Copies of this chain bind each other. A is one copy, B any other.
Amino acid sequence: MTKHITSIDVARRAGVSQSTVSRVFSDKHPAVSAETRQRVLTAAADLGYRPNAIARMMSTRRTHIVGILMANITSPFYPYVLEKFLQRLQALDRQALVFTASAHQDVDALLPLVLQHQVAALIVTSATLSSETADECARSGVPVILFNRYVRGGAASAVCADNVAGGRLAADVLLDTGHRRLAYIAGTPDTSTNTDRERGFADRLAERGDTSWRRAQADYTYETGFAAAHDLLAGSDPPDALFCANDIMALGALDAVRQIGARVPEDVSIIGFDDIPMAGWGAYHLTTIRQEVDAMIAATLDLLHAKLDQPDSPPVLRLIPGSLIVRGSVRGLDRTQESGA
């Protein structure tokens, strides 16, 4: 192992005290003469000194590290989210300790580990957090923001796409364009994104007098979306429109429709949710309800900092409206008809 250079080495070389070296490298710049500072900086450069972030954390008992807890990174929606978070966090001079929860394993089990690392705050994405755990974080003084998830009555703030409104919008779009045999392809059960999208869709349909829509269960993957569409289309009196709880499943559904020799949108219309990059690709041209990811991320970081500045502020739920992105997978929709949700 290489000998580690510490502030003491620098102090010795610069002929100053260790405290002075520390002052020079503190973020705020208190009372150090320009000349001394220069001497210290030179000595540090000569030695290749780098302040030890761990020791600094130890001493200040504060961390710049934000924990990110994420399941499902591979779902095409989340890599983008993660990258954005990392970029924004880095710009704010914060580091990110990232954890993934495999679907089966409980997110709550990961929490002690995260907390041990004294993270300044925690962002939880695509993974549910029990309200006990949320409370525990609150007790340790670690602000938690849920991204695209929320706990009912929990102690955690959350930022979500307005999934209910999105579901309603999908219902309106499909009905307005004259579709009459609707079906919903559901995402993973017990996720708030899925239940909210379905609820919005179902409620709006009911309001407009359609109670005969069908439903197939899938779990947010391409393969299950494909299979669900297949099943739906196989029966007699197949649906003429499919609302899919996310884009990936919608893409699978689209391929399924084509595979059985039907056309999109002439024979069946498809509308997705998310607006992932692939939705715009030539082979698909998926009409979808877009989540305003950038706005959601910005809101999350706002909430985070608000909570950091004011630890006692109450939890907040922030809903970010989405919007309809019109491409080619819904019959009777013309590309000027985009609207907010």
Contact = CB atoms under 8 A, between A and B. Distances in A.
A305 interface: no
Interface residues of A, number: 59
Interface in A112-169: 112-113, 115-118, 136, 139-141
A258 B277 contact: no
Given A2-B140, A50-B115, A95-B117, A74 B63 contact: no
A141 B1 contact: yes
Interface string A48-69: 1011111101100101010000
B284 A118 contact: no
A178 interface: no
A116 B52 contact: yes
Nearest to A100: B86
Nearest to A63: B54
Contacts of A141: 1-2
B118 A52 contact: yes
A213 interface: no
A129 to B, nearest CB: 17
Contact of A54 (B54, B100, B252, B258): B54
Nearest to A95: B97
Contacts of A226: 282
A87 interface: yes
A311 interface: yes
A255 B285 CA distance: 11
A315 to B, nearest CB: 17
A278 B254 CA distance: 14
B100 A1 contact: no
A74 to B, nearest CB: 5
A206 interface: no
Contact of A283 (B52, B61, B76, B283): B283
Contacts of A220: none
Interface of A: 1-2, 4, 48, 50-55, 57-58, 61, 63, 65, 73-74, 76, 78-80, 82-83, 86-87, 90, 95-100, 102, 112-113, 115-118, 136, 139-141, 222, 226, 251-252, 254-256, 258-259, 277-278, 281-284, 311
